[in-house]
Structure 1
Amino acid sequence: MHPAVITHLRCPVCRESLSPAERALRCGNGHSFDIARQGYVDLTAGRPAHTGDTAEMVQARSALLAAGHFEPLASAIAAEATAEGLVVEVGAGTAYYLARCVGQTEHAGIAVDTSKAALRRAARAGERIGAIRADIWQGLPIADGAAAVILDVFAPRSGAEFARVLRPGGRLVVATPAEGHLAELVDALGLIRVDPAKRERLHKSLDEWFVQAAQRRVRAPLALSRADAHALVGMGPSAWHTEPAAIARALDAMTEPIAATLDVDLTAWQRRESRA
């Protein structure tokens, strides 16, 4: 793991700094955390509330992203991630968006997820990217004010933890599905629909700690193969609530390319520097 990553990490037990020691990270109080042979380190303090995406979901996500269908979103996120310094992505998955942001700078990145399958891939996303297993609801094992940019792409949000980890003048970039996101597939396959109250939930989770600085809509038409469409279903929340065989039968009846729409709300936020 790159030294530029380790310097920002903290022991999840006592919050002391961590140092490398024989395929592990160790704090001054003797707490030790093995670095997996795949390159990530487990910094959970107890069992995470959710174990994250399965290996099948991660494979589907990796295949879909590699096909370039979410490139417009990756470009928009990179354009918003303008602060210079450490980039942290929470719920990073394979670190696709993080790698895009880190790749345009000389700074380090930290991919945070609870899925071991995702972290195995995130650890290979770039030389200056470190992958750590951590649960945002238990607290991030990252130093106060360490991050210049925090990315949250279709992931859980903790305003309090984001505000603690983000430095003054830093930028929080959040991507949430808009009402038209993948609507064609949602209608045809009976997938989970976007919560109509998502905007209210977003502000409720962040407004106490952050001020919204920018907002844009990212929309692009998608022309999918059946494999791409199957991957889209398999990588998201609908994977937990659909029958793969039924989805496959429905997709087999469709003519390629299968039309869908990428439709995402992208917001950028700054910390409230003074709170009543």
Structure 2
Amino acid sequence: MPSDRLLSVLTCPLCPAGLHRTGGALRCAGRHTFDIARHGYVSLLTGHRRAPSADSAEMVRSRAAFLGAGHYDPLARTLAGLATELAPPDATVLDAGAGTGHYLAAVLDALPRALGLGLDSSVPALRAAARAHARAEAAGWDVWQPWPVRTGCADLVLNVFAPRNGPEFHRVLTPSGALLVVTPTARHLRELRASTGLLAVDPGKEERLRRTLAEHFRHERAETLEYPMSLTAGEVTGLVTMSPAARHVDPAALRGRVAQWAAPVRVTASFVVSVYRPRRGPDRRPRAA
């Protein structure tokens, strides 16, 4: 159930006015109404605003199992450590493309009085994100669209392997806030690419990211995190099927192929974690009544 503090962050995506709770829904002064799902999240997606694609239930199950096994815990710990440097203990943290809420939960553990809001367009992901942490809330939204969130409400924005909407990142952050972005390097999962259908990572991805965000943000620093993972055949299959590659890979064929490999399978995890600060400028248009 959305908290009162969350309601001070969200706005109606149609007006936009503030939202209040009425029964099992959120409603604005213009009587636009959004149901609160029994799983605890609220979907603000309506009509033409629906996201064209979202993670499937199978992708979310695979991701929850893989992350739950701890394989990306070093990344979660890195984000948590940076959060304590960049945000106050009572921060408002927004996670754009939150997925299951795994990384948002790690950050909230590190910030003892913080509130987190995860935005995602996948219903199965939202169900997981809504229960990821006692101080985490989840809302259904396409992060490519203007967000139903008040201007300047966030101390920290997380963006982990998710779409990057630079203008909205900038608008919702306080002037002293920070944006944390995680991208894979060209070495990430390199041992699996040729044989599993995983998409290659463009070596110029990080530089392109900086150019994309440069209008609204200054790049403060970046940390590279790389370590080996030892995976079972089932975990390799889960790693592939939790990714966008799942949309064009035959799961049965993948399982058969991976089952023939000698275990454990050695795989490289390799990420860049970048810190950005908002530039001062005119892109702080109001979004609240």
Match of 1:116 in 2: 123
User: Which residue pairs with 2:141 in the alignment?
Assistant: 134
Quote the offset at 1:73 in angstroms.
0.5
> Quick check: 1:5–1:129 contact (8 Å CA) kept in 2?
no
- Whether contact under 8 Å (2:229, 2:266) holds in the other structure is yes
Structure 1 residue ranges without an equivalent (≥5): none
Query: What is aligned with 2:80?
Result: 78
Name the residue aligned to 1:162.
169
Matched, 1:96 2:102: yes
RMSD of Structure 2 on Structure 1 (CA): 1.4
Q: Which aligned pairs between 1:47-86 and structure 2 lie closer than 5 A?
A: 47-81=49-83, 82-84=86-88, 85-86=91-92
Instruction: Spell out the pairing of 1:217-256 with structure 2 (5 A cutoff).
Output: 217-256=224-263
Cα contact 1:158–1:205 (8 A) shared by 2: no
* Structure-2 separation of matches of 1:64 and 1:32: 36
| Residues 181, 261 of structure 1: 8 Å contact kept | yes
Range with bigger deviation, 60-69 or 243-252: 243-252
Contact 2:222–2:273 (Cα < 8 Å) also in 1: yes
Work out whether residues 73 and 218 of structure 1, in 8 Å CA contact, stay in contact via their aligned partners in 2: yes
Q: How do residues 253-264 of structure 1 correspond to structure 2 at under 5 angstroms?
A: 253-264=260-271
- Contact 1:92–1:112 at 8 Å: present in 2 too? yes
Q: Which amino acid aligns with 2:247?
A: W
Question: Quick check: 163-172 or 182-191, which moved more?
Answer: 182-191
Alignment check: 8 A CA contact 1:174 1:267 kept: yes
Q: What letter matches 1:95 in structure 2?
A: G
For 2:243 and 2:267, how far apart are their aligned partners in 1? 15
Number of residue pairs the alignment of both structures matches: 276
Return closer, same or farther for 1:190/1:29 CA change in 2, 3 Å cut-off.
closer
Q: Give me the whole-angstrom Cα distance separating, in 1, the residues matched to 2:79 and 2:186.
A: 19
Give per-residue Cα distances to partners, 1:154-176, cap 9 Å, x unaligned: 00001101000111110100000
| Contact 2:188–2:269 (Cα < 8 Å) also in 1 | yes
- Measured in 2, the distance between the counterparts of 1:189 and 1:56 equals 17
In the TM superposition, residue 253 of structure 1 has moved relative to its aligned partner by: 0.9
Residues in 2 aligned to 1:150 and 1:142: alpha-carbon distance in whole angstroms = 12
The code of the aligned residue for 2:33 comes to S
Q: Secondary structure at the match of 1:138?
A: coil
For 2:21, the equivalent position in structure 1 comes to 20
- Which residue is equivalent to 2:279? 272
User: Residues of 2 paired with 1:28 and 1:11: CA distance?
Assistant: 9
Superposed counterparts of 1:210-221, under 5 Å: 210-221=217-228
Deviation of 1:275 after TM superposition, in Å, equals 7.2
Structure 2 matches for 1:173-212, cutoff 5 A? 173-212=180-219
Distance 1:214 1:275, change over 3 A: farther
Give the TM-score of the pair, scaled to structure 2. 0.92
Deviates more, 1:5-14 or 1:55-64: 5-14
Aligned with 1:194: secondary structure?
A: coil
Consecutive aligned runs of 4 or more in structure 1 exceeding 3 Å deviation: none
Q: Which moved more, 1:175-184 or 1:40-49?
A: 40-49
* Alignment gaps of 5+ in structure 2: 284-289
